[in-house]
Amino acid sequence: MSEKLQKVLARAGHGSRREMEAVIEAGRVSVNGSVAKLGDRVETGTDAQIRVDGHLVSIQAENEVICRVLAYYKPEGELCTRTDPQGRPTVFDRLPKVRGSRWVAVGRLDINTSGLLLFTTDGELANRLMHPSREVEREYAVRVFGEVTEQNLQALRTGVELEDGPARFKRLIAAGGEGLNHWYHAILSEGRNREVRRLWESQGMQVSRLMRIRYGDITLPKGLPRGGWVELQLDQVNYLRKLVDLGTESRTLMEKDKQAARRQNKIKTGKIRRAVKKHRPAKGPKR
């Protein structure tokens, strides 16, 4: 059974389908030693040798892939990129290792924005959740500085013209504040670059704090520390899959991971006990 090359690479966790199309167009992918081109298809049931930047890719058939999703609390100061030439911290630095796949970020948050960021091992799921046609809601807690008028709020709800086209908040809810600092909950159904900040700036307001608190119906878990992550339960994973018309997942690796962690802890505990016993001083002669 043949599939488009970009779909196979996305499923293997190398990025979204759109990102993989750009990688193929750049000539960075080869199939059986020949440089691939956009539109190529591969047989997933064969021993095709697919490489990205010279590195062999582990290819799995669609029914072999187990979809996993993490909810991550991104702190301010982290970049949404795998590596940074300047050595700055990235959102991938703290994530757990995943065997035979990679984590793909569902959208981005800029360096000065904190809050909920989803990661999945299924590039197709990430691609669909990010696509504007799906209109998946994102909710942000926003603190703005400036004198906000009813006219400003009405403009942000009905729509303003930005450099990349018209934009508006689907809903905008006041959430308190003092003086010239006001909090709002802002809901968008797309994820353009710096859209929340640019919308407020169009009204002469400065965003002094921005945090994403919800993606679809997945909210930032209570008690999760900044820089922390938690794996979503199977019902939450399937909620996201149904949201973008993907088949439901029947398997999870969460229990296997817990069992592996328990086994690893037992091994470590055993080693410590043996080391203590080995170096315990010998008992002296009885008196």
The mean pLDDT of the chain is 86
Which overall architecture, per CATH, does domain 2-61 show? Roll (3.10)
In whole angstroms, what is the distance from residue 130 CA to residue 195 CA?
14
Contact 130, 16 (CB under 8 A): yes
The alpha helices in the chain, defined as continuous H runs, are: 5-11, 17-25, 123-130, 150-158, 195-201, 234-243, 254-279
Q: Which of 47, 53, 93, 110 is catalytic?
A: 110
Q: Which helix (H) or strand (E) holds 165?
A: strand 165-167
Tens digit of each residue's pLDDT (9 = 90 or more) over 216-238: 999 999 999 999 999 999 999 99
- So where are the chain's domains? 2-61, 69-243
Torsion over CA: 126, 131, 134, 138 (sign) = positive
For residue 285, pLDDT over 50 is answered with no
Token pair belonging to 93: 């630095």
Picking from 155, 212, 206, 162, the residue whose alpha carbon sits closest to that of residue 187 is: 212
Confidence of residue 9 (pLDDT cuts 50, 70, 90): confident
> Active site includes 257?
no
- Could you tell me what percent of the chain has a pLDDT over 70? 84
Higher pLDDT, 181 or 255: 181
- The CATH class of 69-243 is alpha beta
pLDDT of residue 228: 96
User: Nearest-5° angle of CA 110, CA 114, CA 118?
Assistant: 85
For residue 116, pLDDT over 80 is answered with yes
> How would DSSP label each residue in 168-215?
--SEEEEEEEETTEEEEEEEESS--TTHHHHHHHTTT-EEEEEEEEEE
Picking from 178, 181, 110, the residue whose alpha carbon sits closest to that of residue 144 is: 181
